[in-house]
Chain A
Amino acid sequence: MKLTSLLASAAMVLGLATGAVAQDKTKVGFVYVGPVGDGGWTYEHNQGRLAVEAEFGDKVETVYVENVAEGPDSERVMTQMALNGADLIFTTSFGYMDPTINVAKKFPNVKFEHATGYKTAPNVSVYSARFYEGRAVQGTIAGMMTKSNVIGYIGSYPIPEVIRGINSAYIHAKKVNPDVQFKIVWAFTWFDPAKEADAAKVLIEQGADVILQHTDSTAPQAAAKNAGNVITFGQASDMGEYAPMPRVSSIIDNWAPYYIERTRAVMDGTWETSNRWDGIGKGMVKIGEISSAVPEDVKAKALEVKEAIASGAYHPFTGPLNKQDGSAWLAEGDVADDGTLAGMNFFVEGIDGEIPQ
């Protein structure tokens, strides 16, 4: 048993070595959870990959596999990339966390970058974006523009990242419109146009005239367009084809600078494990153009919030804030620490509804 495992790992290392000798290009692999044409999450990661190619030209070779299920399938895809000589592999979905750690153990010379997770290793970094900063801008626009005072929110899964987004959007909508009310539908998917469209329709029927989404397809945009006076925001990607109405702005994940930086670090041999969480200030989160459907005063206010966050003058989670059950969370002027934000599992005061358990 020991011997076979030894032989297998020797063979893997050998395979790796020959792979590395065969080419002096730096090989970068990308594992995608959706199709590159999803128009959202995976699309933007693929834009990052293309940016890496554009930056380094023929000094780099990129490969990708799309629609990779989380679990054993992703583990095999990563192993396959490592065997074929990848030097750096970006695994771009939360569910790839344990598979990434498993594969990284077998290939100590390959660097791994896992998006949105929390487990690191000497050759595994994690990175994510502070999307909640963008949600603050969205919430501001939504709160000022809603006429029915009902804002619909399509949640994907009740994980900290999504809950953070809901809280941030709510806090800032409430700030500009005390009567605002949130209705949340959990779709339990990241990408399912049919389900997302249904969720949007349900919310619109319940009186929502603003739809925020934490899912990746443009189906809610299409549903809002059909309904008429409903506004939406692009998610993960600009979704500009729905501007100026219903899409009035968007949160864009901009992975390109990070991917270029990390690829360069591997080329220079300066790559080290890290835990990166950047926002608007560093350019990892971008706010898509605020369309002509938004009144000037609303636009000005939204840009003011954006600038304050970008410069670091304002943190979207600044006290006084209470938890949903009324217990105190942040005192006047205090800001949330990253630990609490990373594991956020509660709504702030004022939001109706429960986090599914």
Chain B
Amino acid sequence: MIRLEKRPQPSQRWSMATPLVAVLATMLFGGLLFGVLGTNPLLAIETIFWEPLFGEFSFYYRPQLLVKGAPLVLIAIGLSLGFRAGIWNIGAEGQYIIGALTGAAVGLAFYPVEAWYIFPLMVIAGALGGWAWAMIPAFLKVRFGTNEILVSLMLVYVAEQFLASMSLGLLKNPEGFGFPGSRNLQQYESAHNADLIANSGMHWGVVAALIAVIFAYVLLNRHMLGFQIRLTGEAPRAARFAGVRPARLILLCLGISGALAGLAGLFEVSGPAGQVSIDFNVGYGFTAIIVAFLGRLHPVGILLAGGLMALTYIGGEIAQGQLGLPAAAIQVFQGMLLFFLLALDLLTNYRVAWRKPEVA
């Protein structure tokens, strides 16, 4: 008979091993799924995981991994700080949109002036936009005790309406024949978040994501604030005795995650996307929640998880295009990854024991 026994201490070994085991289990069961759909499972798995990194056209896909992974990592780093302290910002998608709007608006306001200071101003505006949007749930929580999960999530839909309104009205391209969408910032040099080295995929957003990882690592391990964040998450009562002021922590955590999400939006709108359009947001803010947990809320883990997530997206597209796999199968595959990770997490805290049924 199989029994689960609680471990006295969470297993360090399993905590490290579960992501790997989860990936392997996903490959196994995903392979079975692809097999049932009539595709060679080995070929499908190879296409998803190998092709983007080492395949014939990896010179194109590797930079794309950076483009796809950077916003995920940038947002997830911000979210992880709050998540560690038990502060749940679920509305990063909204902060991402608002950051893109404020940042792009600053750039478009200068059009067609070319000057070195335009892009830095856009970056500041983007961060401020995201920060301000996150301050709404933060302020309401601190002042009135509202639930930040609901407020931040609902504000995503408000932000989406803003986005539609801006694409159709205020930020609409005056030379766009009445079609929705702003001017393309890729064609406006001072506002363009171009690759720092051509075709490397290395734009400012990637740099910002890497800086955020280092910053978060130092903050959590070396700084008083990081200690307070961890303490609040692990032992809220003890934290209060240790002099942590919860209101300040809420404002800080939501503010930082909002600003980082806003930055991600700005780098996306001024770089890979190029323009404000109704369908600008594609769910980075929500996927980043998965990335944060997949990475164990640890900065380095998040970096790796962001890369893995980007890999399944890009590999999944290749598998669709080359093997004719339906998009839904790829989504199931990605879902499996999270499912196995969470399920196997059980083994960190519990161990499986084989017991003979006891005689009464």
Which residue of B57, B282, B317, B322 is within 8 Å of A71 (Cβ)? Answer: B282
Interface centre among A4, A76, A79 (most CB of B within 10 A): A76
| B192-217 at interface with A (beta carbon < 8 Å) | 197-200
Q: How far is B320's CA from A323's CA once the two chains are assembled, in angstroms? A: 47
Tell whether, in the assembled complex, residue B178 and residue A160 are in contact, meaning their CB atoms are under 8 Å apart.
yes
6 other A-B residue contacts (CB within 8 Å) besides A160-B178, A160-B179, A357-B165: A11-B59, A69-B282, A76-B64, A77-B321, A95-B181, A157-B180
Residues of chain B with a CB closer than 8 A to A357's CB: 165, 168-169
Q: Which 5 A-B pairs have the closest CB atoms?
A: A72-B272, A345-B178, A5-B198, A357-B169, A67-B327
CB distance from A17 to the nearest CB of B (A): 12
Residues of chain A with a CB closer than 8 A to B136's CB: none
Q: How far is B323's CA from A63's CA once the two chains are assembled, in angstroms? A: 9
Given A15-B56, A94-B179, A159-B178 in contact, is the A1-B278 Cβ separation under 8 Å? no
Residues of chain B with a CB closer than 8 A to A79's CB: 60
Which residue of B180, B268, B280, B318 is within 8 Å of A80 (Cβ)? Answer: B318
* 17 residue pairs A–B, Cβ–Cβ below 8 Å: A5-B199, A36-B326, A66-B320, A67-B327, A71-B273, A71-B277, A76-B64, A77-B317, A80-B57, A95-B278, A95-B279, A98-B186, A157-B180, A188-B160, A344-B178, A356-B165, A357-B165
Tell whether, in the assembled complex, residue B317 and residue A76 are in contact, meaning their CB atoms are under 8 Å apart.
yes
The reply on B8 being an interface residue by CB < 8 A is no
The reply on A158 being an interface residue by CB < 8 A is yes
Tell whether, in the assembled complex, residue A188 and residue B278 are in contact, meaning their CB atoms are under 8 Å apart.
yes
* Chain B positions 28 through 63: 1 when the CB is less than 8 Å from some CB of chain A, otherwise 0: 000000000000000000000000000011011100
Residues of chain B with a CB closer than 8 A to A98's CB: 184, 186, 274-275
Residue on A with the closest CB to B283?
A69
Residue on A with the closest CB to B319?
A65
Tell whether, in the assembled complex, residue B324 and residue A63 are in contact, meaning their CB atoms are under 8 Å apart.
yes
The reply on A84 being an interface residue by CB < 8 A is yes
CB distance from B62 to the nearest CB of A (A): 11
CB distance from A25 to the nearest CB of B (A): 14
Tell whether, in the assembled complex, residue A29 and residue B321 are in contact, meaning their CB atoms are under 8 Å apart.
yes
Tell whether, in the assembled complex, residue B177 and residue A118 are in contact, meaning their CB atoms are under 8 Å apart.
yes
Tell whether, in the assembled complex, residue B321 and residue A63 are in contact, meaning their CB atoms are under 8 Å apart.
yes
* Chain A positions 72 through 86: 1 when the CB is less than 8 Å from some CB of chain B, otherwise 0: 110111011101100
Residues of chain B with a CB closer than 8 A to A84's CB: 57, 321-322
- Number of contacting residues on A, CB 8 A? 46
Given A35-B327, A35-B328, A157-B180 in contact, is the A83-B60 Cβ separation under 8 Å? yes
Q: How far is B165's CA from A157's CA once the two chains are assembled, in angstroms? A: 11
Residues of chain B with a CB closer than 8 A to A68's CB: 317
Residues of chain B with a CB closer than 8 A to A5's CB: 198-199
Q: How large is the interface on B (under 10, 10 to 19, 20 to 34, 35 or more residues)?
A: 35 or more
Residues of chain B with a CB closer than 8 A to A63's CB: 321-322, 324
Tell whether, in the assembled complex, residue A81 and residue B177 are in contact, meaning their CB atoms are under 8 Å apart.
no
Q: How far is B321's CA from A76's CA once the two chains are assembled, in angstroms? A: 11
The reply on B67 being an interface residue by CB < 8 A is yes
* Chain A positions 326 through 357: 1 when the CB is less than 8 Å from some CB of chain B, otherwise 0: 00000000000000001111000000000011
Residues of chain B with a CB closer than 8 A to A2's CB: 198
* Chain B positions 308 through 344: 1 when the CB is less than 8 Å from some CB of chain A, otherwise 0: 0000001001101110101110000000000000000
| A134-180 at interface with B (beta carbon < 8 Å) | 157-160
CB distance from A168 to the nearest CB of B (A): 17
Which residue of A1, A11, A158, A356 is within 8 Å of B198 (Cβ)? Answer: A1
Tell whether, in the assembled complex, residue A95 and residue B277 are in contact, meaning their CB atoms are under 8 Å apart.
yes
Tell whether, in the assembled complex, residue B321 and residue A356 are in contact, meaning their CB atoms are under 8 Å apart.
no
The reply on B239 being an interface residue by CB < 8 A is no
CB distance from B334 to the nearest CB of A (A): 13
CB distance from A188 to the nearest CB of B (A): 5
CB distance from A308 to the nearest CB of B (A): 28
The reply on A278 being an interface residue by CB < 8 A is no
Residues of chain A with a CB closer than 8 A to B59's CB: 8, 11
The reply on B164 being an interface residue by CB < 8 A is yes
Given A76-B317, A80-B318, A188-B164 in contact, is the A71-B60 Cβ separation under 8 Å? no
Q: How far is B165's CA from A357's CA once the two chains are assembled, in angstroms? A: 6
The reply on A307 being an interface residue by CB < 8 A is no
Q: How far is B184's CA from A65's CA once the two chains are assembled, in angstroms? A: 25
Interface centre among A65, A73, A102 (most CB of B within 10 A): A65
Q: How far is B324's CA from A83's CA once the two chains are assembled, in angstroms? A: 16
Residue on B with the closest CB to A161?
B179
Q: How far is B67's CA from A79's CA once the two chains are assembled, in angstroms? A: 14
Tell whether, in the assembled complex, residue A66 and residue B327 are in contact, meaning their CB atoms are under 8 Å apart.
yes
